[in-house]
């Protein structure tokens, strides 16, 4: 039987779990000291990104940093996108892009080609594989004459995210 003093020992956020008999020990609470301006800026960030509370925003920031750290390790599986704009009038550029894509065919899940205007095309490559190989593909395309802008957006495959 649940006693009144048991209710007092648990916060409202964990009350439902407590009443269901779940263990709340999977959640770790800790305090963070911040300068006032940083705290105010963080609260603005939370409001703009429509977080319901600071905890969820902090969890997302921690996850993002852990994922970035994960990318640095050789052999880490990532998913992401390589997005680049190029001038399709540059001689042999399209052939070179296709050759690079074929050289890295095991990483490329999908590609989309978009005509931006008479001179410029946008290419979006969905990629998945070891972070080092994905970065090598990015660098190969980046080095091609006629590629005006390129970005690599890496994410996790979701397997190691808690």
Is residue 10 part of an annotated ligand binding site? no
The answer to whether the Cα torsion of 112, 116, 121, 125 is positive or negative is negative
135 in Cβ contact with 152 (< 8 Å): yes
| Cα 150 to Cα 159: distance, rounded to the nearest angstrom | 27
The helix or strand, by DSSP H or E, that contains position 122, with its residue range, turns out to be strand 120-130
Residues 6+ positions from 56 with CB-CB distance below 8 Å: none
Q: Which residue has 């890295």 as its token pair? A: 104
Is residue 105 part of an annotated ligand binding site? no
Closest CA to 93 of 148, 150, 145, 136: 145
Is residue 88 part of an annotated ligand binding site? no
Name the binding residues for Ni(2+). 102, 113, 115, 121
Binding region: 102, 113, 115, 121
């Amino acid at each position: 039987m649940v006693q009144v003093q048991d209710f007092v020992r648990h916060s409202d956020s964990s009350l439902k779990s407590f009443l269901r008999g779940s263990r709340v020990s999977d959640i770790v609470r800790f305090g963070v000291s911040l300068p006032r301006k940083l705290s105010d800026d963080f609260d603005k960030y939370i409001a703009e990104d429509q977080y319901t509370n600071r905890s969820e925003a902090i969890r997302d920031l921690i996850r993002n940093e852990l994922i970035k750290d994960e990318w640095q390790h050789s052999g880490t599986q990532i998913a992401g996108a390589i997005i680049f704009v190029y001038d399709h009038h540059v001689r042999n550029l399209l052939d070179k892009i296709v050759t690079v894509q074929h050289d890295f065919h095991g990483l490329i899940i999908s590609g989309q080609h978009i005509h931006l205007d008479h001179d410029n095309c946008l290419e979006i490559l969905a990629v998945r594989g070891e972070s080092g190989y994905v970065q090598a593909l990015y660098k190969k395309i980046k080095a091609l004459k006629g590629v005006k802008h390129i970005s690599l957006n890496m994410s996790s495959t979701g397997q190691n995210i808690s």
